[in-house]
Every structure is written in C-alpha cells, then in structure tokens.
C-alpha cells in the first residue's frame, strides 16, 4: 500500500483488563486506517497493565507496525466520545506524519531541536518546574503540552514506558520537528473567591504572608465569603491561584495558574502549595466549579476552532478531579471538546498535573485540561 502524503491519525479505547487478541485487532484496525505503519503510537494504560507491558509492546509493534511507542499509567482514560474513570483499559493514538521527525528523550537539548513537544512525567519528579524553565530557555516560544502519570495506590503503580519497556527516568519528552503545528489547549476549572493579595513572604512552595497577613487567615476569610450554601460544596475544592499576567488590575477565571494547597501550618498560618511561589506574585484563592470548568473549556475550544479549524488528532490531559465527582455526570470534558471539534481521533488521561503553553509560557497546572492539538503545518 502506498505511503500517505498527508498527516493522518487513528485511535481507540479498549475497556477491561489486558486482552492480547483485542489489542491486536485494535492495533491492526488503526494501522489499516492509516494506510500503513504509524510514526508514533501513544498508549495510555491503567496500572494493572504493568505486568503485561512486554506483551502489549510486542502486540503494538507486530500488529500495529509501531516503530516508536510512548505512554504512561493513569487512573482514568479518554477516547472518542467517552471518558472512563477507575476502571481497567487502554487508550491508543496512532500518528502517521510523513514529513515529521519524532524523537523520544528524557533531557532538554541545549539548543532548539523541535517545533513542538509532548511531555509525560512522574508526579514525584521534584525537578519538573526547573525542567519547564529549561525548556523555555532553550526552546523559547515552542509549545510543550503533557501531564503526569496517575494510578495507584503504590508508587510502583506510577510508570512511564517506551517501546523498550518501563522507563526509569522521571520524564519522557516527545519532540516533533517539521510537518506539523501543535496548538496547545489550556483550560482551567476554577473561579476566584475572596480578594487578591500580593505574596510578601515565601520560600519554595511555602507561602508565609499575603499582604503582610497570615495566609491561613486570608483563606478562612475567602471561605467565609461563600456563605453557608456553598461552604459545604467548597470542602476539598479550594485551591490557590497565582496570577499569570500581572499587568491587569482585575482578575477573572482563566487568569490564574492553579495549584493545590498541600497543607496548612496553623501556628504561623503558613500554606504549602503544590508548586513554588515567589514574593511579589499576586495570589487569590479559587473554588473548583463545574459550570466554570465546562464554559471555559468550550470557550477555549471555540477560540482555537475559529483560528485553526479542527485538528487531525489530539491528546488530552485532564486533571484527575475533573471527572464525575466534579460534574455529576460522565464524559463532560470530552463532550465539551467534541461539541466544537467533532469526533476526531484522540487519546487522553486523568493526570496528577498538566502542562500547557500560554503566551509562550510553559507551566504546570492542576485540575485543568491541557490538550495537544495536531495540525498539518502546510
């Protein structure tokens, strides 16, 4: 069969425990849709697939003719038309890109080598923020999108892998050069509550003072502002938002880099966040809100569709709190996405944290949707 002259993709989501025959059939069907061998297969699997990785990789290479495979573990999957939480399964995306170079690495090259990248990381990687800074230094303005593995409950249930098997590195970076354009999708799921304050004392991930006040006092004040009706819903749903662009005087949903509040120390009011904060940044507490999450995702998808149309493939990284617990129903992220773009081939996961690029800044997020939307460069 002749080699395709254009970029093309295929995907599938297989629920249930690993089944070699089903996986072989799916891989063959995806390959046949491409009209030939893929250049890359992205495979997201639930943690119970780990003992079967060797067989899975062999199946994708033999029946899918996959030369390059990259993937990670997850607690939930997404595919065309559906999301599935806390069940076994695999989500596959086959990419055929005749004019695109694909390189899988774990380090940031010291000079620009890519036009776009997808990153998969171990959530226990304490150096990840510096890795993103390094990417911005050596690849300024080049988009990078991705997410962290989930699974559980043990640390060994979190894993990354390639066609060589389990990867012992803390991250895998898939670099793309030539032939495609990667459009990053970044959508948050929170609305600001209380008042914004400038961080006046901080070190690392610990915030010691907001506007010269104890952060926990400011948090209690923001919580009280919700009123009795919303306070019960707010339990476990309040986060810290760091302003992305400080030039504005007023901040709205989507203007913040959302982080988890890991802990609070009551004797001095100190808060520990899920990522570093610095003195001079503006911080405002955030309430995770299902209506805001859905509307912001629809709005961002509409913006990209108006600008670029529908992509030929997509990878979606959804914060693990953005499932049925938030929306009260299944498939709400995928539904909002497909209402705008239609049912394009895609694979997705529920991730511990997400990575996206906005205005040339590559950042790590929590409880957001970050998507890598693939377009042909011509």
Query: pLDDT by residue for the chain (378 residues), tens digit each?
Result: 444 468 999 999 999 999 999 999 999 999 999 999 999 999 999 999 999 999 999 999 999 999 999 999 999 999 999 999 989 999 999 999 999 999 999 998 878 889 999 999 998 887 788 888 899 888 999 999 999 999 877 888 899 999 999 999 999 999 999 999 999 999 988 889 999 999 999 999 999 999 999 999 999 999 988 877 678 777 778 999 998 877 776 788 778 888 889 999 988 999 999 888 999 999 999 998 888 899 999 999 999 999 999 999 999 999 988 988 889 889 999 999 999 999 999 999 999 999 998 888 888 888 899 999 999 997
User: For residue range 125-172, what is the model confidence (pLDDT) as tens digits?
Assistant: 877 888 888 998 889 999 999 999 998 778 888 999 999 999 999 999
Provide the token pair at 161.
């892998």
Phi, psi (rounded to 5 degrees) for 83: -125, 145
pTM beyond cutoff 0.85: yes
pLDDT of the residue at 2: 46
Angstrom CA distances, 294 to 64, 82, 305, stand at: 35, 15, 16
pLDDT score at 5: 62
Return the closest-CA partner of residue 262 out of 366, 158, 181, 141: 366
CA distance 195 to 198: 10
Chain Cα centroid distance, residue 94:
19
- Nearest-5° angle of CA 76, CA 80, CA 82? 45
């Amino acid at each position: 069969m002749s080699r395709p002259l254009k970029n093309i993709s295929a995907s599938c989501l297989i629920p249930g425990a690993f089944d070699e025959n089903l996986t072989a059939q799916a891989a063959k069907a995806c390959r046949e849709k491409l009209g030939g061998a893929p250049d890359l297969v992205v495979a997201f699997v639930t943690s119970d697939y780990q003992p079967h990785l060797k067989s899975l990789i062999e199946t994708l290479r033999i029946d899918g003719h996959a030369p390059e495979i990259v993937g990670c573990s997850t607690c939930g999957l997404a595919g065309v038309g559906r999301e599935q939480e806390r069940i076994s399964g695999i989500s596959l995306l086959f990419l055929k890109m005749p004019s695109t170079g694909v390189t899988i690495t774990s380090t940031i090259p010291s000079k620009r080598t890519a036009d776009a990248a997808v990153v998969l990381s171990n959530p226990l990687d304490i150096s990840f923020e510096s890795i993103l800074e390094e990417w911005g230094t050596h690849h300024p303005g080049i988009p990078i999108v991705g997410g962290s593995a989930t699974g559980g409950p043990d640390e060994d249930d979190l894993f990354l892998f390639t066609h060589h098997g389990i990867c012992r590195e803390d991250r895998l970076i898939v670099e793309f050069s030539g032939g495609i354009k990667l459009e990053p999708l970044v959508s948050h799921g929170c609305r600001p509550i209380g008042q914004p304050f400038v961080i006046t004392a901080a070190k690392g991930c610990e915030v010691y003072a907001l506007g010269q006040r104890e952060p926990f006092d400011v948090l209690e004040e923001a919580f009280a502002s919700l009123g009795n009706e919303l306070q019960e819903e707010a339990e476990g749903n309040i986060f810290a938002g760091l302003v992305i662009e400080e030039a504005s005087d007023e901040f709205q949903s989507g203007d913040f880099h959302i982080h988890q509040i890991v802990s609070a120390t009551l004797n001095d009011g100190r808060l520990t966040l899920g990522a570093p904060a610095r003195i001079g940044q503006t911080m405002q507490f955030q309430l995770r809100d299902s209506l805001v999450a859905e509307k912001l995702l629809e709005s961002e998808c509409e913006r990209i569709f108006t600008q670029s149309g529908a992509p030929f493939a997509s990878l979606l990284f959804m914060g693990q709190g953005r499932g049925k617990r938030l929306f009260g129903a299944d498939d709400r992220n995928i539904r909002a996405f497909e209402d705008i773009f239609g049912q394009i081939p895609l694979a997705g996961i529920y991730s511990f944290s997400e990575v996206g690029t906005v205005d040339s800044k590559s950042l790590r997020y929590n409880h957001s949707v970050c998507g890598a939307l693939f377009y042909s460069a011509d």
